[in-house]
Structure 1
């Protein structure tokens, strides 16, 4: 008869053997389908910045800030010391040339003006009196000459008559000689009087000329004093906007003290500071660009300041019509060109450069779900782009955000659903 054989159960060792085999098999499968460290990493797309590689014109430039300043500024200084007596305008007023701004008072200057006027008037009176006296002396000399001429004529008449009578033996020789001596005396007297009159005329002219020069000098000094008095009324030397006026009624001002400034309305310029690293690459005539309200305006470097303080100081002027509505002190971003534009392959700048130093980058595949690590070579750069020399072509998509945390990976798997 048949005997039933009981079914054998797995032994304890057998069960653990098969369990180990299953664990090993599962580990192999996971090793195949799960990335190993340093090879592949799943990353949320929202955490990355993906930029396209393009072809365009590359230009080196540096970004600086320019401060709007008037094209011409005229400073107002006190020509004379004094106390502010009256302020006639306010800051911000648009002025015309010659418009009064403020009035100063200087009693010492006014007293000196009065004394000089008195001195000039006294000198002019003395000149007038001296001229009158010299004229009177001249008239007296001329009267004397007229009298001498009369006496000379009478002596000549007597001498001529006596000479005829003496030749006719009518008069004595004594009478003839006496008339002859009288005539010669009057003739000599007339010569001396004429000589004296000429010398008096020369002396009078010299004296009058000297006094006239003194009057002219004192008159010039008086005119200078009047101009100094006029300087107590400060006027606008040019038309423009009064950007500042530091004066209060009753305030004392010294000669040469800065009182304010006028900004000419003819135009504006931009004043900027460039990093000292670019000193050798900055020159007069260099071009730049500023964007205001979405419109680009061309600039040109017009002045480079010799003294380097907090960077290289430069002035830039608009090559065309400046933007409307610019105000003094307004800051505008400037792109100062350091090279000419040239065709190049461009990669937008990003944080990836900190980890790669431009030697490699993650480039997206055709399907856009994976990014492979590829070697690249970058050249020049500006604040917006890198110049690509090798490793990338126009149309490629590159992860340009920071690679911190996965810089040692070979591939990134982009997950659009991962937070």
Structure 2
């Protein structure tokens, strides 16, 4: 009798086929999952810096170094050249205005002074002689005028007498005409003498005036020459401290050569070097701060030197109000120069992240702080401590601000260990 054989639906071959296909599907799915997901990197929080985004006062400033200098410096140059004959004081001495510093000798200049004095004396002598001659000439002319006036009066008297006698027919016309001619001659002579005397007076006065002007000019020249010789003794122009004195006994100094300087000790200024990158943003009136012994001193830019040397330019600052008592000439100060007014802003602390991101993105922590993921940000102004956040972050957010050198193209950081916040 035949027996019916039942067909098995799950034989070993079928099971193996299904198992193989399932393994392939799982492998492909796993491959797709792991290749399409975000790249992650485990990071020890002890090796990174986590900072919190805050909102607070922000001011754009740059740190600069300045050198303390006297507010006023007067340079000592050789007004006249010569050999250093004597030094009255040493470098660093406190001077009063007019006190001698050193003496130069210049034989040619001193000889010129002697010649000029002789010339002035000669002109003065000649002028005195001319004045005496003029006075003598005037006396002579006055005597002549007196004689002419006397002769005129006598001729007038005779003429008038003879005219009366002639009218009375007591004398002849010949005698009358003679007295009339003598009277007319006396009148003409007086007019001529008066004119000559007037011209002589004018000429004498012009001559004396010219000689006086010449004498005054020579006296001015002599005074200038004496001053030039006097300038061979170099004196302090103002009260102050003598610095940078460069003059040794026997040394020759040419006219205009720098001998030293006088520092007026009534106050100080600070000469500051600034990178040329900021030259368009620096101007007179900008404020700065100097912090010493937990006290802040304020300074203001008084002068900007626009000449750029080796990529830097200089400004002069002066203290506003009180100055530090410990301030000394030549001292270097670390100053914060403000480039903007203080405003409220969202702030992220500075860190090494900026070198890799350029301020375009940052790793931001999730709520429980277990993962940090990339977010796009926009940063604005900066100072040595903070960047200004324009978009992408809010106060309270936590971000990784340390260097991203070893993260490559990772999209997420899986944080391991205890949180380290800055």
Contact 2:372-2:399 at 8 Å conserved across structures: no
Q: 2:114 maps to which residue?
A: 114
Matched, 1:383 2:384: yes
Shift of 1:154: 2.8
| Aligned residues between the structures | 375
Q: Which moved more, 1:347-356 or 1:100-109?
A: 347-356
Secondary structure, in 3 states, of the residue corresponding to 2:306? coil
- The runs of 4+ residues in structure 1 deviating greater than 6 Å are none
After superposition, the Cα gap between the structure-2 partners of 1:197 and 1:390, relative to the gap in structure 1 and judged at 3 Å, is closer
Partner residue of 2:314? 313
Deviation digits for residues 253-301 of structure 1, max 9, x if unmatched?
A: 1111111222222322222222222233223222222222322222222
Partner of 2:362: 360
Between 357-366 and 220-229, the greater mean CA deviation after superposition:
357-366
Q: Map of 1:113-152 to 2, 5 A cutoff? A: 113-152=113-152
Instruction: Confirm whether residue 373 of structure 1 aligns to residue 375 of structure 2.
Output: no
Task: Give 1:397 deviation, angstroms.
Answer: 6.0
Contact 1:78 1:254 in 2 (8 A): yes
Structure 2 vs 1, CA of residues 51 and 243 (structure 1 numbering), >3 Å: closer, same or farther? Answer: farther
Q: Contact 1:378–1:386 (CA<8 Å) still a contact in 2?
A: no
Go from structure 1 to structure 2 and tell me whether the alpha carbon gap of 1:179 and 1:287 turns closer, same or farther (over 3 Å shift).
same
Residues 1:402 and 2:407 aligned together:
no
The match for 2:36 is: none
* Equivalent residue in structure 2 for 1:413, among 407, 412, 416: 416
- 1:51-76: CA deviation from partner (whole Å, max 9, x where unpaired): 55443212222222122222222222
Tell me, yes or no, if the aligned pair for 1:243 and 1:263 is still in contact at 8 Å. yes
Q: CA deviation at 1:103?
A: 1.6
Gaps of 5+ in 2: 1-38
- Equivalent pair of 1:375/1:391 in contact (CA under 8 Å): no
Query: 3-state SS of the aligned residue for 2:220?
Result: helix
Residues 180 and 340 (structure 1), Cα distance of their counterparts in 2 relative to 1, 3 Å cut: closer
Q: Which residue does the alignment assign to 2:204?
A: 204
* CA distance in 1: counterparts of 2:44 and 2:385, whole angstroms: 29
Unaligned runs of 5+ in 1: 1-36
Q: What's the counterpart of residue 215 of structure 2?
A: 215
Report 1:167-206 matches (<5 A): 167-206=167-206
CA distance in structure 2 between the partners assigned to 1:105 and 1:364 by the alignment = 85
Q: Identify if the C-alpha distance between structure 1 residues 182 and 374 changes in structure 2 by more than 3 Å, giving closer, same or farther.
A: same
Structure 1 residues 173 and 272: alpha-carbon distance in aligned structure 2, compared to 1, 3 A threshold = same
CA distance in 2, matches of 1:41, 1:349: 20
Change (3 A) 1:405 1:136: same
1: distance between equivalents of 2:169 and 2:44?
166
Q: Secondary structure at the match of 1:119?
A: helix
Q: CA deviation at 1:48?
A: 4.7
**1:399: Cα distance to partner?**
5.0
C-alpha deviation, 1:250, in angstroms: 1.5
> Where do 1:212-251 residues align within 5 Å?
212-251=212-251
Structure 1 residue 334 and structure 2 residue 324: aligned?
Answer: no
Match of 2:30 in 1: none
CA distance in 1, matches of 2:104, 2:167: 94
1:378: Cα distance to partner? Answer: 5.3
Deviations, residues 23-73 of structure 1 (Å, cap 9, x unaligned): xxxxxxxxxxxxxx9542446x3x555555443212222222122222222
Output the CA distance in 2 between the equivalents of 1:393 and 1:174: 140
* More divergent stretch after superposition (62-71 vs 339-348): 339-348
Structure 2 counterpart SS, 1:256: coil
Once the two structures are TM-superposed, the CA of residue 128 in structure 1 deviates from its matched residue by: 1.0
Structure 1 position 339, deviation (Å) = 2.4
Contact 2:364 2:397 in 1 (8 A): no
2-structure distance, mates of 1:288, 1:364:
40
Q: Which residue does 1:302 correspond to in 2?
A: 302
Change (3 A) 1:109 1:39: closer
Q: TM-score, structure 1 length as denominator?
A: 0.80
Distance in 1, Cα, partners of 2:180 & 2:242: 93
- Post-superposition CA distance 1:84-136 (Å, at most 9, x none): 22222222222233232222111111111111111111111111111111111
Match of 2:24 in 1: none
How many angstroms apart in 2 are the aligned matches of 1:236 and 1:327? 22
> What's the RMSD between the two structures over aligned residues?
2.8
Distance 1:130 1:364, change over 3 A: same
Q: Name the SS of the counterpart of 1:375 in structure 2.
A: strand
Deviation at 1:176, TM superposition (A): 2.9
Q: Closer, same or farther in 2 for the Cα pair 1:338/1:172, shift >3 Å?
A: closer
Moved more, 286-295 or 167-176: 167-176
Q: State the distance in 2 between where 1:177 and 1:386 align.
A: 126
